Structure 1
Amino acid sequence: MKEEIVKEEFHISSEAVNTDEVNMVLNYSNTFAVFDRSGNIRPYGKMVQGIYHNGTRFINKLVLHIDGEKPLLLSGSIKEGNSIYWVDLTNPNVKKCTIPENSLHIERHQFVRESAFYEEIKILQYEPENCAFDLTLDFAGDFRDIFEIRGIERKVKTNNAYPIYHDEYFETTYLGLDGVERSFEVHFQSDVEYTLAKNRAIFSVNLTPKKVATIHYCIHFLTGKEKKEAISYFEAKALNQLELKQSKTLFSDIKTSNAQFNHWLYRSEKDFISLLSHTDYGKYPYAGVPWYNTAFGRDGIIAAMEILWINPEITKGVLLFLAANQAIDLVPEKDAEPGKILHEARNGEMANTGEIPFKQYYGTIDATPLFIMLAGMYYNRTADLELIKHIWPNIIAAINWIDEYGDIDGDGFVEYIHKSENGLTNQGWKDSFDSIMHESNQLADPPIALCEVQSYVYGAKVQAAKLALKLGHQELSLKLFNEAAVLKVNFNENFWDEELSCFVLALDGHKKPCRVKSSNAGHCLFTEIADPDKAIILAETLLDLDMFSGWGVRTLSSQSGRYNPMSYHNGSIWPHDNALIAYGLSKYGLQKHVLKIMESIFDASLFIELQRVPELYCGFERRKGIGPTAYPVACSPQAWSVGAVFMLLQSCLRIDINSINKTITFDRIILPDYLNEIRLIDLKLGNEKCSLIINRSKYDNVAFNILQKPDNWEIVIN
């Protein structure tokens, strides 16, 4: 998905994770934690485990021992809507006691919240005699930038972190090369006596049978000279539970007759909420944990598109945030041009010093037209004309960028070539250095016109034309409609390949087509730039054996010379990619193809821990009784992956919520075999709501039961 350039400078090294371990993830806005299943963080060099804040790993060691021994893991799971990691442990033989192993029950309850980490440890003894032992917690911090963890070797010497010793708490401080001081403080609240020795807390535990001993502590992560008021574990937990309760109103409630599908919906909703960051402009979905826990333009837009029909509030926050961060000036080292939409923003040490170019970086070719598309889709869903008026100057600036900067050679197609010396070479959603190639396997020369980008530009001009007409700009509206019509004709003539039965991946800088079958072509469906006859042929191509593995549509045909099912973009399977393809297929009424994609991703989710569909998985052919093969450094959770289920369901239902006309339309829906009933409760229609039940009836027809709807709204069933 993200920062890879020629020589793979920004590639995420497979050494960044220990693939033999299962890591557990907690996240809250700018802070996230990666543990082993016991709730520990062990300093395995550059391994991903740790607690991170604002792009920096503050904590790289957090280890619990009983008299120097590692407790035995019973179970570990994420509970309460993704907010708490709950671990059950027991004891090995304890040297200071005569009690046998498996006599102690040790519970660890961990969560992150607003620049802090909290843990509760509860110890209960089941043997009849008393027991005394030392429980120790070891802490350490390395303050490494996340790009170091990803595998980038720094060419500068960094400062050392240094501890500051206090009687009641730990403190460790690091002065970055960017001049920013970062520190963490560990504060304890315990009914067990303890002493502090350097970065070790030693708790003298004296247990009587069936009486619980409890330890609480919190770690505050501080940047600059900020100081945070410490709140207790119970206060922080109560605030988390309150937010969790409030977050239930963000999404319309969807329940089905299939318990496993319901769990997928539940997990996806909670993961999506956990990735939301509170900005000055509203909520914004961060891209994913661990590598992309920050704002990305393309990711935020597509994630918002996926959930727009059930959660329009997020889209409003995305539009306002991206409008506020739209490029104003021409800054080649940032790949910034007036009107261009942000690619990503970072605030870690390496971004601040310029060692990486991503502090505020605009090297994306597609976020700008997607921004315009999202604005049009949002207005159709909400009729919120005030927001459209507010960001209309940003929409005009984005349209001007398409015409003045996007179309580099004036041929009517939008191309990219990076200007930043150390920026991204490829600037579509497949931005690996080797992701755009010819059938000969030769990499394409820039400037490169991707097929899906032309689709987005077409969609952007259609949506902008509709908005312009609504705002009274008839001349501009007509101009945009005409430009979109011309683009559609030229695109179908220049990008369609009869022999491939597919749109070519791209045109290179010499206007030579990259005659490769890829999933990019599927993105030419949901804007309806593809001629209907070509869409039908393309649907068959995308679901043929070389493109469809059984777990979804591959990013690249297995017949391609650069196909590798274990690659990032050249043969892997991305759930968001499949959701967009399914959404496009539904636009042409190709519902059997939609169902096949839906079923493949759902089936894959059943083999994945927590049903948390990751950023991507490998593109190996489906094997009976074996789940999809994991990609070792995939983000999980990731916003546009956990959002995929909602767009897939929307594609099956062919539901269109039009607040302008006040209609909810279901157009020839087909339910998959495993969903006999779908309950859509509290669909937001402005300040009102709609609820209904959809049932499969005889002969694969569907029946509707409308529970509530506003009097001035109409439900249309075709």
Structure 2
Amino acid sequence: MLDRLLALKEGDTFLVADPWGDLRGGADGLFDRDSRILSRLVLLVGHDRPSRLSSAVSDDNVFFTCHATNRPLPPMGGRSAPGGVIHVERRRFLWDRRLYERVRLTNHGVDPIVAPLSFEYGADFRDIFEVRGTRRERRGRTRPPVADGGRVQFGYEGLDTVERQTWLSFSEPPAALSTERADFRIRLSRGEQFDLFMEAGVEGGETPGRDRWRVAALQARLAMRAKRRRGATVRGAHSPRFNQWLDQSRADVALLTTDLPTGPYPYAGVPWFSTPFGRDGIITAWQMLWLDPSLARGVLTYLAARQADETSTFQDSAPGKIMHETRQGEMSALKEVPFGLYYGGVDTTCLFVALAGAYARRTGDLAFIRKIWPNLLAAAGWMTDHGDSNGDGLIDYARAEDTGLSNQGWKDSEDSIFHADGAYPKGPIALLEVQAYAYSAWRALADLSALLGEGSPAAWSDRAERLRALVEDRFWMEDRGFYAIAVDGEGAPCRVLGSNAGHLLFSGLPSAERAGRVTERLLSGRFRTGWGLRTLASRQPRFNPMSYHNGSVWPHDTALGVAGMAHYGERDAVALMLGELYASAAHFEMRLPELFCGFNRQTGEPPIPYPVACMPQAWAAGSVFLMLQASLGLSIDALARTIRIDRPCLPAGLDRLTVAGLAVGETRLDLIFQRVGSRVAVWPRHQGGPALQLDVAD
């Protein structure tokens, strides 16, 4: 874990660097709006990188700090300095599209020292898809860098005619400055401390210095604090490690959440997915809904504003469809890739409608639902008119052009959907979990139309029930006691055991008997690793625990499946699985990655990381909160002014948990869950507002 990249993010700017804080031109860099505006930034003390002591990102995700010390230094007008006498502290943060960095040198030696300090730098202005490996036949024109006094300017005119600039500046004039390097000679008396400030951003700005650093640092920290304090909080009593997981997960959701004009939106993950994704944003908002409904409102508002109103094969769009992904970079603007505003996600439109229904039930905010009602109807229109391309009653997909995604569910790898013999299915493909989302969408529309007095609730309910019957008939494999992952364009089921069935449980579509059989299979050793649930059962064709989607463990996928089990009354297994994900988090410094390898848990050994997983990832961070809700059996119906708690459970080792500041309309209250013998009791503590009904089933 020591060699992994460490990330900071603020708005549409993010930075990934190695544990020294260096950028070396690989997958790292300072990115702004999908363009890498700084590709190299290496700190040298003498001729070498300093010897690193430790490095970390602060608990609130605002600051990166690296502690290091010098290696033996060459003579500089006197005796050479031995190694280990200069403490080098490198501290940085992002604010307002700008990197702020402070390098602090402290001389702990017995003699005065002249410390040679250098920065090497460069800006390649690569589009993020270039950094990820996409080749381009042509690029724009790189401007010759300009070094002047204490700053350097880099420039690039893209093929999209947009001028991009990076300014790098220092608080002290360097002894030597070029377009590639700045050299300083820092004189340090015994015990003396010296600070050098550096800034890099898209505008020149003022000269860096202590005051600018302090003001920007305070703004960055206050902004993050405000995001972390949205909604209710969850704390375990006498459980510092469990609370550390909760705190880190909440901080990661806050880090990835960008406050847009439409409201807060959780970007998917750093580094490759630091942008609004439809599916990821919806699921993250759903995971956090019981604690912080503002996230769901922000996601719904943003996606409604970008709902498709025309058909484009390049964008995979059709009227009423909800966005899958958006990008701001040069390649997207030039349509070298379709992701400037891309709709190639078959599930996002259904999830959009389903989240609206869940948000309405959680908040009672029917004024907002009425505002987006035309968008919900347009989404339903897409499901009816475009989502079912072959008229068999199932929502399906087939990419319209080769530039689009070949698989358009959440398992979007090229090899993630296949038949029992390993062969790829012919399109259009109807995914199991997409039918689950569509079922939830039709049910949501029935509820919302009744609440708003709009349309025919019975017609929406009828659609949901017809889809339920169709799924039970077309996807169920009686001989395997499980559901097929998909039905292909010829009507043949893909008879493969995948975690997709857990999403079906989450929707509440299966009968209780079939849900029980699916739960039993998901909790078997073929899916359950001891760290979470695999995306694909062992011994299936294409099973590979080191793959992206065919046998790895994705925390959000596990959480949805476990929450689905809870829907059918399962509690003990839910608490058990929560404990297993907690154990996984403990080995990843309390930050669950996007995914990790699906090998079985071995005594005394950690889970095996997936090499290029995003960390942090929004729906991985949100997983703990969805699983906690499922374990507590907690649901909120603001319209009925009721909180229901059904047979709550707590994971092993956690005997008391408090949900503080839970808001339901104008009412705020705390809920205390306490293990009492073999059961978990709950006590409300009213804080203010009209009384609520607390309905508890032991």
Q: TM-score, normalised by structure 1?
A: 0.94
Indicate whether 1:621 and 2:603 are aligned: no
Q: What SS does the aligned partner of 1:533 have?
A: helix
1:110 matched residue in structure 2: 92
Amino acid paired to 2:415: D
1:445 matched residue in structure 2: 426
Measured in 1, the distance between the counterparts of 2:139 and 2:672 equals 62
Q: What SS does the aligned partner of 1:430 have?
A: coil
Q: Map of 1:45-194 to 2, 5 A cutoff?
A: 47-95=26-74, 96=76, 97-190=79-172, 194=175
Amino acid paired to 2:627: L
Indicate whether 1:209 and 2:190 are aligned: yes
1:7 matched residue in structure 2: none
Contact 2:597 2:608 in 1 (8 A): yes
Q: Map of 1:537-576 to 2, 5 A cutoff?
A: 537-576=517-556
User: Which segment is superposed worse, 643-652 or 350-359?
Assistant: 350-359
Contact 2:113 2:188 in 1 (8 A): yes
Q: What SS does the aligned partner of 1:499 have?
A: coil
Offset at residue 281 of structure 1 (A)? 0.3
Q: What SS does the aligned partner of 1:160 have?
A: strand
Amino acid paired to 1:717: V
Contact 2:658 2:671 in 1 (8 A): yes
Q: Map of 1:477-626 to 2, 5 A cutoff?
A: 477-608=457-588, 610-626=589-605
Contact 2:671 2:682 in 1 (8 A): no
Q: Any unmatched runs of 5+ in structure 1?
A: 1-18
Deviations 1:213-253 (A, max 9, x none): 1111110125xxxx767882222101012213322321412
Q: Map of 1:186-265 to 2, 5 A cutoff?
A: 186-190=168-172, 194-221=175-202, 232-257=212-237, 258-265=239-246
Offset at residue 415 of structure 1 (A)? 0.9
1:297 matched residue in structure 2: 278
Q: What SS does the aligned partner of 1:555 have?
A: coil
Contact 1:141 1:161 in 2 (8 A): no
Offset at residue 53 of structure 1 (A)? 1.1
User: Which segment is superposed worse, 280-289 or 593-602?
Assistant: 593-602
Which one of 638, 641, 649 corresponds to residue 628 of structure 2?
649
Q: 1:127 to 1:555 in 2, by over 3 A?
A: same
Measured in 2, the distance between the counterparts of 1:563 and 1:245 equals 43
2:358 matched residue in structure 1: 377
Q: What SS does the aligned partner of 2:202 have?
A: strand
Q: 1:159 to 1:72 in 2, by over 3 A?
A: same
Q: What SS does the aligned partner of 1:144 have?
A: coil
Deviations 1:633-654 (A, max 9, x none): 1111011111101001011011
Offset at residue 122 of structure 1 (A)? 1.0
Contact 1:143 1:161 in 2 (8 A): no
Q: Map of 1:390-405 to 2, 5 A cutoff?
A: 390-405=371-386
Measured in 2, the distance between the counterparts of 1:448 and 1:228 equals 53
1:365 matched residue in structure 2: 346
Offset at residue 552 of structure 1 (A)? 1.1
Offset at residue 193 of structure 1 (A)? 6.2
Q: What SS does the aligned partner of 1:334 have?
A: coil
1:706 matched residue in structure 2: 685
Contact 2:139 2:158 in 1 (8 A): no
Measured in 1, the distance between the counterparts of 2:139 and 2:680 equals 68
1:11 matched residue in structure 2: none
Indicate whether 1:638 and 2:625 are aligned: no
Deviations 1:308-342 (A, max 9, x none): 00011111100000000000011111110000000
Contact 2:673 2:680 in 1 (8 A): no
User: Which segment is superposed worse, 464-473 or 702-711?
Assistant: 702-711
Measured in 1, the distance between the counterparts of 2:252 and 2:96 equals 17
Offset at residue 505 of structure 1 (A)? 0.6
Offset at residue 160 of structure 1 (A)? 3.1
Measured in 1, the distance between the counterparts of 2:218 and 2:2 equals 35
Measured in 1, the distance between the counterparts of 2:205 and 2:297 equals 30
Q: 1:600 to 1:80 in 2, by over 3 A?
A: closer
Measured in 1, the distance between the counterparts of 2:61 and 2:168 equals 24
Offset at residue 195 of structure 1 (A)? 4.3
User: Which segment is superposed worse, 352-361 or 124-133?
Assistant: 124-133
Q: 1:602 to 1:275 in 2, by over 3 A?
A: same
Offset at residue 600 of structure 1 (A)? 1.8
Offset at residue 278 of structure 1 (A)? 2.0
Contact 1:693 1:707 in 2 (8 A): no
Amino acid paired to 1:220: G
Deviations 1:568-615 (A, max 9, x none): 11111100001111111111011122123212211111111x311011
Q: Map of 1:5-24 to 2, 5 A cutoff?
A: 21-24=3-6
Deviations 1:525-577 (A, max 9, x none): 11111111100000011111111111111111112111011111111110000
Which one of 329, 334, 341 corresponds to residue 322 of structure 2?
341
Identity of aligned residues (%): 36
Amino acid paired to 2:489: G
Indicate whether 1:429 and 2:410 are aligned: yes
Which one of 648, 667, 672 corresponds to residue 651 of structure 2?
672
2:367 matched residue in structure 1: 386
Amino acid paired to 1:125: N
Q: What SS does the aligned partner of 1:213 have?
A: strand
Measured in 1, the distance between the counterparts of 2:362 and 2:170 equals 49
Which structure would you say has the larger RCO, counting Cα contacts within 8 Å and 6 or more residues apart?
1
2:294 matched residue in structure 1: 313
Measured in 1, the distance between the counterparts of 2:175 and 2:688 equals 60
Q: What SS does the aligned partner of 1:669 have?
A: coil
Measured in 2, the distance between the counterparts of 1:558 and 1:290 equals 30
Measured in 1, the distance between the counterparts of 2:459 and 2:542 equals 41
Q: What SS does the aligned partner of 2:90 have?
A: strand
User: Which segment is superposed worse, 283-292 or 89-98?
Assistant: 89-98
Q: What SS does the aligned partner of 1:593 have?
A: helix
Amino acid paired to 1:84: F
Offset at residue 137 of structure 1 (A)? 1.1
Measured in 1, the distance between the counterparts of 2:145 and 2:607 equals 45
Offset at residue 688 of structure 1 (A)? 3.6
Which one of 248, 267, 278 corresponds to residue 248 of structure 2?
267
Deviations 1:269-320 (A, max 9, x none): 1111111112220111111011111111001000100000001111110000
Offset at residue 161 of structure 1 (A)? 4.6
Offset at residue 64 of structure 1 (A)? 1.0
Q: 1:470 to 1:291 in 2, by over 3 A?
A: same
1:10 matched residue in structure 2: none
Measured in 2, the distance between the counterparts of 1:233 and 1:407 equals 55
Q: What SS does the aligned partner of 2:456 have?
A: helix
User: Which segment is superposed worse, 486-495 or 426-435?
Assistant: 486-495
Length, aligned pairs only: 690
Q: What SS does the aligned partner of 2:23 have?
A: coil
Question: Considering only aligned residues, what root-mean-square deviation do their CA atoms show, in Å?
Answer: 1.6
2:637 matched residue in structure 1: 658
Q: What SS does the aligned partner of 1:205 have?
A: strand
Measured in 1, the distance between the counterparts of 2:132 and 2:495 equals 33
Q: Any unmatched runs of 5+ in structure 2?
A: none
Contact 2:551 2:597 in 1 (8 A): yes
Deviations 1:30-49 (A, max 9, x none): 11111111111123xxx212
Contact 2:667 2:687 in 1 (8 A): no
Offset at residue 55 of structure 1 (A)? 1.0
